[in-house]
Amino acid sequence: MGTKHAWPSREEWQAKAEYAVRTACTMYERLDRAQPDTCWSSLAEDVEMEELARPAAAALRRLLTVEINRLRGLLPDRPKNTKPRVAWFVALEGQRYEDACNLGALEGMRRDIQRAVRNEAWGVVAWHLGRVRKNYPAIRLTGRLLAAHDRMEELAAAATERRRAAAQAVEDAAVAREVARRATDEAWEQELERRRQVESPRVIRSTRSA
């Protein structure tokens, strides 16, 4: 025979209503089910983001190209094809290794920015601008670019906060509903029935002959 479960009392089960809701899924998963495809920025904010990000992307790509060309000049023996380039890269040491890492990363970043502009994914532009600002001091960003990035970060943060607040509200409402539900005799009977089924699961026997 199977081991019987040590089930919580009704009071303990009721007390865990909030915990059950908050651990069932993330509040953002719950929000996406409740409000699918919601945009958390206003039209005015979207327009401003594009007006900031489009020229910022062009300016950043120019700066990346300058640094990419400088690094390529330091690595004239870098193979063009993938297989020999991998073997070449593995054998690098010291500054040449670091330069090769930066070169590959900046080339990938430049491609990502070009793709982001085509797709109007302005958040990607802002993210890459932040990466350069934080991790690539050799690339000197202009005051205009820095100001544009600051404002894009503010716009993104505002949308993020609206989404967080909405998700919190949806989760809090779900908690309140579950607390109220567990206070009813009907919900308790349903829980007892669930426990009975766990303790004595139904066995489905096949009727097919051998």
Domain ranges across the chain: 43-144
Question: In this predicted structure, what is the pLDDT of residue 176?
Answer: 98
Alpha helices in the chain (DSSP H): 10-15, 17-24, 27-34, 43-74, 82-90, 94-119, 122-135, 143-182, 185-199
pLDDT at position 208 is: 59
Q: What is the pLDDT of residue 1?
A: 45
pLDDT in tens, 123-166: 999 999 999 999 999 999 999 999 999 999 999 999 999 999 99
Segment 41-44 long-range contacts (CB within 8 Å, at least 24 positions apart)? 41/155, 41/158, 41/159, 41/162
pLDDT 10s per residue in the chain (210 long)?
A: 455 789 999 999 999 999 999 999 999 999 999 999 999 999 999 999 999 999 999 999 999 999 999 999 999 999 988 899 999 998 989 999 999 999 999 999 999 999 999 999 999 999 999 999 999 999 999 999 999 999 999 999 999 999 999 999 999 999 999 999 999 999 999 999 999 999 887 766 655 554
